Amino acid sequence: MSFLVIYCDDSGDVSPQEAEKAIIDKLNVEIKGLAKESVCSEEFICYSVGIGAKPCGGFWEYIVYSSSIDVVSFLTKIETMNELEKEYNEKYMILSDCFLAMPPSSLTCENGKCVGIFE
């Protein structure tokens, strides 16, 4: 015996696509928050890293951070977010411009914060 269940949901719940995007967005906010919390000095070195996965390939942007944070955890979050966004883009056939984000040409420490110089 087989039966068919039809489920109609007008409760306002988020769709699976919206839920997946929310996870990516949450990671993005966490990553940028950690980068913003980082400080630089003679003891802590500045770095840059590409974040996000554009549908055409490459990163959405580069952010700067320093070695004052838990770099392993930070980079793991970025790898996770980038992979989730890549899968999301493929699954939902997301499109974007194919503009290539460039890394900063140099990094400097100003008032205890890492700053990327984009030329």
For the chain, the structural domain boundaries read 16-117
86: left (phi over 0), alpha (psi -120 to 50) or beta: alpha
What are the pLDDT digits (tens) for 31-64? 999 999 999 999 999 999 999 999 999 999 999 9
pTM: 0.86
The bridge status of strand 61-66 relative to strand 46-51 is antiparallel
